[in-house]
Amino acid sequence: MNHWGNINNVVYQMVSKKWAGLISLILGIIFLISPVGGVKAISMFSGIILALIGVWMILNALKERYYRRLSLFWFIFAILLILVGALLAFQIILISTFAGFWLYVTGLLFIIAGFIVVLSAWDAHVTRTLGVMGILVGLIYFVVGILAFNPVFLGVIIGIILIIYGLVILFS
């Protein structure tokens, strides 16, 4: 009996992986057809989820009042989550703003770290090369971060990633 249970489990996992790949592929195509619509949908969905997590955190902060410092921290963070969630859900800001800012700052940090490594290890060829690579990666992040502020670009990138992921899942 255990043997058939294992077979059923393997078949179930294969089928669910194929469905995940197919859904990813379909979503990727939708993102390529309407990149801005896809980014708006992700923005709204993320906003609703963040706001719900914020409400849950407020309820827990009020319930656990005897941990004053921790519940105050939870309460402040929950208010922040609800605020950001509302901004995203009602399309006051798009998620592309967060993505662009994150990539922009990450690129800037890579560039700074790369320069520090290059300047501190000019004599060591391998270390200097790693520093230059850090600068190049930082520049790529920086440029992609600037482009990610545009929801069309971000939607196309998300669509391509979803299609590649879907194809990898379907053919694995």
Q: What is the pLDDT of residues 146-170, one digit of tens each?
A: 888 888 888 898 899 899 999 998 8
Across the range 42-71, mean pLDDT stands at 82
| Burial class of residue 53, CB neighbours in 10 A (0-12, 13-18, 19+) | middle
Taking the CB of residue 120, how many other CB atoms lie within 10 A of it?
Answer: 12
Residue 48 lies in a domain: yes
The model's pTM: 0.65
Distance CA 49, CA 5 (A): 36
Of the pLDDT bands very low, low, confident and very high (cuts 50, 70, 90), residue 120 is: confident
Task: Quote the CA–CA distance of 58 and 151 in Å, as a whole number.
Answer: 32
Domain count for the chain, please give it: 1
Is 150 part of any domain? yes
Q: Is residue 120 part of a domain?
A: yes
The pLDDT assigned to 83 comes to: 93
* 3 within some domain: no
Position 14 in a domain: no
The verdict on residue 130 lying in a domain is: yes
What residues make up the domain containing 38? 32-171
Q: What are the start-end ranges of the H helices in 34-94? A: 35-63, 68-89
Question: Is position 146 within any domain?
Answer: yes
Is the residue at 24 inside a domain? no
Please tell me the total number of residues recorded for the chain in this structure. Answer: 172
